[in-house]
Structure 1
Amino acid sequence: MPRRSRSVTALLAVLLTALGGCTLPAFAPEGSAEPVGGVPTVASTAGAAAHWSPCPDVPEKLIGRGAAGMSYDCATVAVPRDWAQPDNGQTYDVAMIRVRSTSQKNRIGSLLVNPGGPGGSGVDIAVYLSFGQAMGGLPAEITDRFDIVGFDPRGVSRSSPIKCISDSDQDASFGADPDPVSQASFDQLTALNKKIADGCGRKYGDQLPNFSTEQAARDMDALRTAVGDSKLTYLGFSYGTLLGATYAQLFPQNVRALVLDGAVDPTENYVESSETQAKGFERAFGNFTAWCKANPAKCPVAADPRGAITGALAKAEKSPVPLRDGRKATPGWIFLGLISSLYTESGWTSLAKATADLARGDAKGIMELADQYAEREQNGTYSNLFDANLAVNCADTDDAPTADRVRELQGQWRVKYPMFGAPLATGMLPCTYWPGKPDPYPAGKANGAPPILVVGTTGDPATPYENTARLAGMLGTGHVLTWEGEGHTAYPSTECVTRAVDGYLIDLKVPAEGLRCPAK
């Protein structure tokens, strides 16, 4: 169904909210809903030019209309299921949309975009970004010089989507206690994760390794050829930075310019990455509580924000607030709403109000935040965002901890990161039981690549700022741009950030070393 009641800015924020780093607790739904907006099914083969067809129905179904002065064309590219065996005849279809401004001049080429996740729709974000900077999209300086090309990576939304878990199991996993203290409760959570993993294994079997980041990065080179570019220009947010970094290592000679905003650190192992996110969310929560206390007019729980939320979680363990749809606002759903609200500074006001309402027995606000993050529809169905998230994360992971190790870390991290440590530990359980063989991505230099711009936000919860310099250093050609702001990802948040990124994308001008853009 089209989401016509919300602004483009809000929809773009929702998309990036649900697409954090790659280790958050995420379980994949079976969801009966179809992907939003069709894409022509006639595919070009890898290495061939794309066959574009007009698709104004895609923005129409997403938000009710297309942007003024923009045209929308769609295509699919058939890519090998396994790039190690490209000629065996088995393929996936990768869906793309091309947004072109009617005022375009001095065209440079295509700007390939991805919102992250893993599991996020690049088709969707290309539509949102087409509405211009005033509505949270790309500035005219970019759309006047580039075609904006979004793609759904293999397994995601319109691109041979992976679906292997029921809506009821998805509800159970999101609603489960994020920090099960008793051994019996922990065992129930592990059993649910094993059930989910076994179901995906039965349905997809030997295909599971094919959903790895490296396979998707190789697809990106086929897309570069399909759109007719000799070199790739790319804007990747969040997990999209990992896709971009992997591409740079595999195809350094094919890079024109990469903007990696909200960096994932590929050098961290699975446990280290989860702990990094625990630190990031704990810091962001501290920033929220400080804002709340300083702005009591906007924050009805300003007297004790942390206490209000921890109290709500504790109360929900014994007597969760019921909802009209039959669900109850359990600690799992409340925690998901908390996670959702921390991705953007604008979400802080919603969290404060939702927490106050919850104390009065009204769970509507906190559940709306949770459902926004989970992409759960009112009829109880889900998109395939979190199936793809699970499949990609686990295909990439060759060092998932055992359940006993997760249990140990749960206790340790609960002390170190009181709000987020234990849930981020138990969030590693899905890959503990994953049946597919791993296909980990590379983590090294992009030798031969031109300068790559890595953008970091000091208050980013999902891809903490510390990752920025680490990714830039790992690639060897990375240059850091810092935004001293809050929330997940930076571009195009302020004039300073926008000017620096636009200059790099258009003129290949690397921002001054050490440039730090102010919050406002």
Structure 2
Amino acid sequence: MIASLAVLVMTAGGCTLPAFAPEGSDEPAGPGGGGAPASAPGAAAQWSPCQDVPAKLVGRAAPGMSYDCATVKVPQDWSKPDSGGTYDIAMMRVRSKSQKQRIGSLLLNPGGPGGSGIDLSVYLSFGPQLGGLPTEVTDRFDLIGFDPRGVSRSSQVKCISDSDQDASFAADPDPVSQAEFDRVAALNKKIADGCGQKYGDQLANFSTEQAARDVDALRAAVGDSKLTYLGFSYGTLLGATYAQLFPQNIRALVLDGAVDATEDYIQGSETQAKGFERAFGNFTTWCKANAAKCPISGDPRAAVTDALATAEKSPQKYRDGREVTAGWIFVGLISSLYTESGWTSLAEAIADLADGDAKGIMDLADQYAERKVNGTYSNLFDANLAVNCADTEDAPTVEQVRKLQGEWRQKYPIFGAPLAMGMLPCTYWPGKRDPYPAGKANGAPPIVVVGTTGDPATPYENTAHLADMLGTGHVLTWEGEGHTAYPSTDCIVKAVDSYLIDLTVPKEGLRCPAK
């Protein structure tokens, strides 16, 4: 259980698709339940024990680890730091009781945007046997998980109703008729308008650049003169933005699962469509070669496309009353491609669906969506929209989306049209935008950028692009499947750990095998 969650919490970056992540708190209070006292802006963190957080997430704390929580106040708008408004940023410190020769803190971000770094710090605290970090790292660093502004236990964005979330996930991922396209567009406009009505001008404050400035405040609050940071997926964009703003404050940055900050919104969405289409092709190849593990091995692509087509015409009824629409099946498909271990679950779910059993595909979809059994949602997708759209000043028009939907359907048969449709929320998003920078991190030390050749959400090509953009980036390659690489194999672990601990940059061009 813990091992799988430690993988799944590393959420995807890019423009439209956050990954599925474990359930987090929906409460905006501090992470310790009642909440640790909030430190004033610029003050040192005031830590309080919070063993209840790992107990709630996974049923227990990791042996030999202590857990403390704190809340730090930051300006709502860093361009006007004295305006008076603040947000609370929740943090967790995980410290090994066998810690020695401490280097400092390792700040963690799982991606999304919208993923909880507090959750990630808990999962990674359980050690390598359960999918966590190596003891070589936890013996030298405090793990600092934080929920960025807008996310989970920090001052959070919550503006999408549970019913609208259900409708959005259930909606046709590729509406062909104009009438159906208009219905999906109207739902996206309703959601965007609702967020604008609730938060108004504050929406621009949830941008990546604002969050990167928060990271520097957290670095100071934990007492580190230089930042050591491990960011997955969207966390690479957050880390890259930090590197451009505060290059002199960096000790070491590992960016795993790179977002290409030089791409515009449309380019980023198409890159994801290409990445998922390629990953699905890898799944079908595996499926045909592993019939014992893949009950749809005869023609896996046809099995999936037939499931989507059948659901368009006559969706099954799920036991909780929902219709198993093509939208829900597509969400389950996306969910399964983030890890190679998810391929077996996908194959079984599609086979079961053909036999009238939708539990497998709906479980995959609900895991991705962070939908609880009572029909409520975390704020993952609220925050995801708020951050992505605050970052985006070049969203396409409705007419452009409709045109790209048809073009991408031809280029990427399963994923192209849905990824084009996924741009609609930012098309309608109200308020000002605050795009992140995309340039050199002049003055920064070497930064390690890790890429996975089979990554669906942040395709491998992004790795070199981000490294080149920063100017001090060094590429480390994992020839594996799924989203993000560390800590997957001994080769990757050795290279990343040597950099984090000793600042030894991986050998240029190092490629680690899949196993």
TM-score band, normalised by the shorter chain?
A: over 0.9
Task: Identify the residue that residue 50 of structure 1 maps to in structure 2.
Answer: 45
Cα distance change on mapping 1:74 and 1:400 into 2, 3 Å: same
**1:429-444 to 2 correspondence within 5 Å?**
429-444=424-439
Aligned partner of 1:210 among 195, 205, 221: 205
* Counterpart among 348, 352, 356 of residue 357 in structure 1: 352
- 2:25·2:152 contact (CA, 8 Å) conserved in 1? no
Aligned to 1:23: 16
AA aligned to 1:14 is L
Q: Specify the alignment match of 2:492 in structure 1.
A: 497
- Post-superposition shift, 1:327? 0.1
State the Cα distance separating 1:14 from its structure 2 match: 2.8
Aligned positions of 1:85-234 closer than 5 A? 85-234=80-229
Pairing 1:397–2:431 present: no
* Rounded Cα–Cα distance in structure 2 between residues aligned with 1:12 and 1:496: 19
Provide the rounded CA distance (Å) in 2 between the counterparts of 1:129 and 1:11: 9
Instruction: Give the superposition deviation at 1:126.
Output: 0.3
Amino acid corresponding to residue 156 of structure 1 in structure 2 = V
1:15 Cα deviation from its structure 2 partner: 1.9
Cα displacement string for residues 11-53 of structure 1 (whole angstroms, at most 9, x for unaligned residues): 123323x5343322899xxx99547863724211222110000
- Where does residue 419 of structure 2 map in the other structure? 424
Deviations 1:152-205 (A, max 9, x none): 000000011110111000000000000000000000011000000000000000
Q: What is the distance in 2 between the residues matched to 1:331 and 1:186?
A: 14
The partner residue of 1:270 within 257, 261, 265 is 265
Q: CA 1:249/1:481 → structure 2, altered by over 3 Å: closer, same or farther?
A: same
Separation in structure 2 between the aligned mates of residue 461 and residue 206 of structure 1, nearest angstrom: 34
How far is the alpha carbon of 1:89 from its aligned partner? 1.1
Shift of 1:500: 0.1
**1:286 counterpart residue number:** 281
What amino acid sits opposite 1:165 in the alignment? I
Inter-partner Cα distance in structure 1 for 2:17 and 2:53 = 29
- In 1, the alpha carbon distance for the partners of 2:382 and 2:250 equals 30
**Cα distance between partner residues in 2 of 1:310 and 1:284:** 15
CA distance in 1, matches of 2:255, 2:278: 22
Distance in structure 1 (CA, Å) of the matches to 2:311 and 2:19: 21
d(CA) in 2 for partners of 1:362 and 1:229? Answer: 53
The answer to whether the aligner puts 1:376 opposite 2:371 as a matched pair is yes
Question: Distance in 1 between the 2:153 and 2:34 partners?
Answer: 7
CA–CA distance in structure 1, aligned partners of residues 72 and 126 of structure 2: 26
Distance in 1 between residues matched to 2:16 and 2:421, nearest whole Å: 10
Deviations 1:198-224 (A, max 9, x none): 000000001000000000000000000
| Number of residues of Structure 1 aligned to a counterpart in Structure 2 | 510
Distance 1:212 1:20 in 2: 14
Residue deviations 1:79-115 (CA, integer Å, cap 9, x gap) = 0000001011100000000000000000000000000
Written as runs of structure 1 = structure 2, the 5 A alignment for 1:500-511 is: 500-511=495-506
Report the secondary structure of 2:218's partner residue.
Answer: helix
Contact 2:112 2:235 in 1 (8 A): yes
Runs of 5+ consecutive residues of structure 2 not aligned to the other structure: none
How many angstroms apart in 1 are the aligned matches of 2:431 and 2:406?
Answer: 28
Structure 2 CA distance for partners of 1:375 and 1:220, relative to 1, 3 Å: same
Counterparts of 1:409 and 1:25 in 2: how far apart (Å)? 21
Report the secondary structure of 1:260's partner residue: strand
C-alpha contact 2:19 2:112 (8 A) present in aligned 1: no
The TM-score, its normalising length taken from structure 1, stands at 0.97
Q: For residue 56 of structure 1, report the CA deviation from its aligned partner.
A: 0.3
Tell me whether 1:236 sits opposite 2:231 in the alignment.
yes
Amino acid at match of 1:108: I
1: distance between equivalents of 2:247 and 2:337?
Answer: 35
Aligned positions of 1:11-90 closer than 5 A: 11-16=5-10, 19-24=12-17, 33-34=26-27, 38=33, 40-90=35-85
Aligned partner (choices 330, 337, 351) of residue 335 of structure 1:
330
Matching of residue 453 in structure 1 with residue 448 in structure 2:
yes
AA partner of residue 15 (structure 2):
C
Aligned-residue identity in percent = 79
**Does the 8 Å contact 2:211/2:238 carry over to 1?**
yes
The RMSD of aligned alpha carbons is 1.4
Say which SS state the counterpart of residue 235 (structure 1) adopts: strand
31-40 or 349-358, which deviates more: 31-40
Q: Specify every segment of 5 or more residues in structure 1 that has no aligned partner in the other structure, as ranges.
A: 1-6
Task: Report SS of the residue matched to 2:9.
Answer: helix
Q: C-alpha distance in 1, partners of 2:275/2:377?
A: 27
For 1:4, the equivalent position in structure 2 comes to none
Q: CA deviation at 1:283?
A: 0.3
What is the TM-score of this pair, normalised by structure 2?
Answer: 0.97
